Chain A
Amino acid sequence: MARSPSLHVAVIGAGIVGAAAAHFLAAAGARVTLLDASGPAAGATGASDGAVSVASKKPGPMMDLARHARAFYGSCEADGLLRGLFHRRSTFLVARTRLEAELVAEHGADLAAAGERVLDVDRPTLLNRIPGLGDGVCFALEIPDDGHALGYEITQRLLQRSAVTVRRNAPVSEIVMRAGQAVGVTIRDELLPADAVLVAAGIGSVGLLGLGDILIPRKGQMVVTDRAAAGRPAIDGHLMAASYLAAKRGIVRDNAHIGLVIDPLVTGQFLIGGSREDHRADQATDAATISAILRDALDLYPPLRQRRVLRTFAGVRTASRDGLPIVGPHPHLGGVTIATGFEGDGICLGPFMGASAARMILGEAPGVDLSMLAPQRFSRAEALA
């Protein structure tokens, strides 16, 4: 598709991915309408931790993509677009049993093989960095080049710094096709004409594109505490338990499993998560799950005993059947591009993937090979849409 100043793109979904795509499309001269059934960051983007983490990624393409995505955050922070919103910070991978230590060591080796810096930390050093850490921690690795960003702040900044028309409370019910080509979208009784459509609607993409067999919701429950420090992170790094790696590497698949992370927010509060509940798309939290998260968190980091829980909340991750995001042109619907299925990695991958989707829509090659994410891969087994 030739770049045209009159190109009008309807972006469906004002999460971090849709906002990034809209921003970079507008920056390239396209006219963009960003539509959301609720509003910016209303879904998983506004209900997640802020880990821009390579350390947490499954070895393989996700680990490599996360390295590109984190570097993209760095360049956006440097060029001013995301200034002040992306912070470098270490991730500590921690083990509390011998078996967990083996898993962490294996994951560390995978990270090193992908080119990531991985540092051994002995217990005295670790206690110096994170005073009060639980007695059970027997092994840890530091991933020093990770970072932190809040999804809703990134979304807000991307929209502030562009001429995108944002329409809240605008649920899209249909993509209107003519002769195999998208010509617009339907919002209630209104037809909004568009030359191209990007579907970045998370779990909302299911109804729009008939992806029920391919995308599944995976609910995560989380806790936010009061402040342990005033206006700075209370501990010097993001604590990621081996139980989280076990879930990400696909070793454990169990709705009752807690993949523990303790995320020190820049406000001085802690965000603690979380559950991984497949096929749960509601945003309710329950005392059994939340208390299990807190028991595990207290075991890993006992000083949390002095904190109070201010909020519990749940986000719904959108996971694809094969565990990889879906980014690229729809195989049958001309002019329709998809960018969803980021599971719990949307904050890390979002700006980079949104920028990549924008390039695809503008007919340019994305900066890196994203062919493994193409929606096409599912249409071999069955008709997509």
Chain B
Amino acid sequence: MTDLAKTDLAKTDLAKTDLAMTELPVLVVGGGPAGVAAAVALAEAGLRVLLIEQRDRLGGAIHRQPAVGAPQIWRGPARHRRNWAELASRLEHVAERIELRTSTVFLGIDGAGRFLFDDRMAGRVFARPVRAAIVAVGAVEKIAPFEGWELPGVMSAGGAQVLLKETGRPPEGPIVVAGSGPLLLAVAAQLARAGNPPLAVLERGRPWHKPKALARLMTAGAPLAEAASYAAVLALKRVPCHVGSEVLGVSETGQGLTIRVRAGSAESLLQARHLLIHDGLEPNRAGIPLPAPGAEVPVLLAGDGREILGADAAILDGQRAASAVLSRLGHAASAAPLEAALSKARNFQLALAEALRSKATPPTPQTMLCRCEGRRYADFAALPADASAREIRLMGRFGLGACQGRFCGPMLAELRGEALPTANPPRWPLRPVSVAALANFSTDETES
């Protein structure tokens, strides 16, 4: 009798808690392949989802659409479009369980445990209680700094690619694409298709010197076909692609840029209007708060924001993160053989990294590291080797600017040979937020 009563009481309590908790959504930050895959998987399992995307529509960097009225110059590889169309149709079917907030930026978790968001359209910061979070905010580009990279006319290749997708127009005038990584080929081919083939593509790595890594890449299938299609476009448009070639510095001359290039022991000068630079990708982790394992509200990473594995793997990784959240919340999670596929993508990335592995020429003292605050390599070298996170920020003024270290952070980590010490507690806002919008925050109307 007593036991039964206890059991009933326990059941009632459990039911109540369950009800309260199931009413809360799972947060998914980022509407690219990983985030949408995670949101769909969670919603298909019956959970409510709050999907946050900073842009005005879903798609992420890979499926960035032209702005209204701009021409679509190139739609990307067919398999990416098929994968995306399939995700979009699954999203349709479970749309009633997904609250999509576009033009909204995740600002982080505050000291009271609130998940904060900046509604850029309404100009208001709001908080929403969530039961778990998956952060899938993609990759950031790495740049190996050289003298003059901060000049107008120099921009990241990925940034140029986004502009190209959105405006449908390539930059005007001669372009040089330089650095390291497969994105150089992709961007150069897209520029060529859009009507302005680059003057040259300069890859610092020497893949032909790494036959073993190349052999591993040859088994890749789809990504290899994609690379071949870019190479074909570049060959057709007669764009010279040099390997073992690197930019040492750039200066402004008249209307354009003079680019100092080294290939082996030979140096030469190139004249161009634009220099697009890129040295690989790394997960966008700037300031993203990761509570300790076992925290009340778990936060998981997914997609390129967790590990750079590319767009195909990002979909699988989103599903993997959703499964992990489902099992954390006591739901049955599909045991799809995701790990094997992810491991294949990882092997491809490792082989690619090995094939292109090369050391950038160290920056000169005058080389800019932090554009926001105008801090150079000499300023960084002057900091004590055991400088704390606070000293690097306050005395070095690195990571204090408007980009909040998103750009200089990876450079400094590369130069130090270890990641920068992180601020503790994690800081918010993760992105600059309007004073007026943050002043509009009110605890009384957190449910927007």
Interface residues of A (CB under 8 A from B): 38-42, 46, 152-153, 156, 166, 168-169, 223, 225-226, 282-288, 290-291, 294-295, 297-298, 304-314
The contact sample of 27 A-B pairs, CB cut-off 8 A, is A39-B387, A39-B390, A40-B391, A41-B390, A46-B394, A152-B394, A152-B395, A168-B386, A282-B111, A282-B425, A287-B110, A287-B125, A287-B441, A288-B112, A290-B438, A291-B441, A294-B439, A298-B439, A305-B435, A308-B402, A308-B432, A308-B434, A309-B429, A309-B438, A311-B427, A311-B429, A314-B111
Q: Which residue of B lies closest to A280 (CB)?
A: B111
Q: Check B402–A312 contact: CB distance below 8 A.
A: no
Interface string of B320-348 (1 = CB under 8 A from A): 00000000000000000000000000000
Query: Which residues from A are CB-within-8-Å of B394?
Result: 41, 46, 152
With contacts A168-B384, A291-B125 taken as known, whether A286 is within 8 angstroms of B114 at the C-beta atoms is yes
Q: How far is the CB of B87 from chain A (nearest CB, A)?
A: 33
Q: Check B427–A287 contact: CB distance below 8 A.
A: no
Considering the complex, which residues of chain B in the window 113-153 have a beta carbon less than 8 Å from any beta carbon of chain A? 114, 116, 125, 127
Query: Which residues from B are CB-within-8-Å of A225?
Result: 435
Complexed CA–CA distance, A223 and B434 (Å)? 12
Q: List 7 other contacts, CB 8 Å, given A38-B388, A307-B435, A309-B435.
A: A38-B390, A46-B394, A166-B384, A285-B428, A291-B438, A310-B401, A313-B427
Complexed CA–CA distance, A156 and B392 (Å)? 12
With contacts A309-B429, A312-B429 taken as known, whether A286 is within 8 angstroms of B442 at the C-beta atoms is no
Q: How far is the CB of A136 from chain B (nearest CB, A)?
A: 15
Query: Which residues from B are CB-within-8-Å of A42?
Result: 388, 390-391
Q: Which residue of B lies closest to A155 (CB)?
A: B395
Complexed CA–CA distance, A286 and B111 (Å)? 5
With contacts A156-B395, A286-B112 taken as known, whether A310 is within 8 angstroms of B386 at the C-beta atoms is no
Considering the complex, which residues of chain B in the window 403-436 have a beta carbon less than 8 Å from any beta carbon of chain A? 404, 424-425, 427-429, 432-436
Q: Which residue of A lies closest to B392 (CB)?
A: A39
Complexed CA–CA distance, A310 and B428 (Å)? 9
Q: Which residue of A lies closest to B386 (CB)?
A: A168
Query: Which residues from A are CB-within-8-Å of B114?
Result: 286-287
Which of B394, B435, B438 is packed against the most chain A CB atoms within 10 Å? B435
Complexed CA–CA distance, A42 and B392 (Å)? 11
Q: How far is the CB of B126 from chain A (nearest CB, A)?
A: 9
Q: Which residue of A lies closest to B393 (CB)?
A: A46
Query: Which residues from A are CB-within-8-Å of B433?
Result: 308-309
Contact of B402 among A156, A284, A310 (CB under 8 A): A310
Q: Check A287–B127 contact: CB distance below 8 A.
A: yes
Complexed CA–CA distance, A199 and B388 (Å)? 21
Query: Which residues from A are CB-within-8-Å of B386?
Result: 39, 168-169
Complexed CA–CA distance, A177 and B13 (Å)? 57
Query: Which residues from B are CB-within-8-Å of A46?
Result: 390, 394
Query: Which residues from A are CB-within-8-Å of B432?
Result: 226, 308-310
Q: Check B391–A39 contact: CB distance below 8 A.
A: yes
Query: Which residues from A are CB-within-8-Å of B427?
Result: 311-313
Q: Check B111–A284 contact: CB distance below 8 A.
A: yes
Contact of A283 among B384, B395, B425 (CB under 8 A): B425
Q: Which residue of B lies closest to A290 (CB)?
A: B438
Contact of A294 among B111, B395, B435 (CB under 8 A): B435
Q: How far is the CB of A289 from chain B (nearest CB, A)?
A: 9
Complexed CA–CA distance, A41 and B110 (Å)? 24
Complexed CA–CA distance, A374 and B404 (Å)? 43
Query: Which residues from B are CB-within-8-Å of A287?
Result: 110, 112, 114, 116, 125, 127, 438, 441, 443
Q: Check B435–A285 contact: CB distance below 8 A.
A: no
Q: How far is the CB of B387 from chain A (nearest CB, A)?
A: 7
Query: Which residues from A are CB-within-8-Å of B425?
Result: 282-284
Q: Which residue of A lies closest to B403 (CB)?
A: A310
Q: How far is the CB of B170 from chain A (nearest CB, A)?
A: 31
Query: Which residues from B are CB-within-8-Å of A286?
Result: 110-112, 114
Q: Check A298–B384 contact: CB distance below 8 A.
A: no
Complexed CA–CA distance, A308 and B402 (Å)? 9
Q: How far is the CB of B287 from chain A (nearest CB, A)?
A: 10
Considering the complex, which residues of chain B in the window 261-278 have a beta carbon less than 8 Å from any beta carbon of chain A? none
Q: Check B441–A288 contact: CB distance below 8 A.
A: yes
Q: How far is the CB of B80 from chain A (nearest CB, A)?
A: 35
Q: Which residue of A lies closest to B125 (CB)?
A: A287
Complexed CA–CA distance, A153 and B395 (Å)? 7
Interface string of B372-401 (1 = CB under 8 A from A): 000000000000101110110011000011
Q: How far is the CB of B168 from chain A (nearest CB, A)?
A: 30
Q: How far is the CB of B52 from chain A (nearest CB, A)?
A: 16
Query: Which residues from A are CB-within-8-Å of B429?
Result: 309, 311-312
Complexed CA–CA distance, A153 and B388 (Å)? 15
B440 interface contact, C-beta 8 A: yes
Q: Which residue of A lies closest to B436 (CB)?
A: A305
Complexed CA–CA distance, A168 and B443 (Å)? 40
Q: Which residue of B lies closest to A308 (CB)?
A: B432
Complexed CA–CA distance, A46 and B390 (Å)? 8
Query: Which residues from B are CB-within-8-Å of A298?
Result: 435-436, 439
Which of A282, A294, A307 is packed against the most chain B CB atoms within 10 Å? A294
Q: Which residue of A lies closest to B394 (CB)?
A: A152
Complexed CA–CA distance, A38 and B114 (Å)? 28
Q: Check B111–A39 contact: CB distance below 8 A.
A: no
Q: Check B443–A288 contact: CB distance below 8 A.
A: yes
Which of B112, B388, B425 is packed against the most chain A CB atoms within 10 Å? B388
Q: Check B390–A226 contact: CB distance below 8 A.
A: no
Query: Which residues from B are CB-within-8-Å of A153?
Result: 395
Complexed CA–CA distance, A309 and B404 (Å)? 11
Query: Which residues from A are CB-within-8-Å of B443?
Result: 287-288
Complexed CA–CA distance, A226 and B372 (Å)? 10
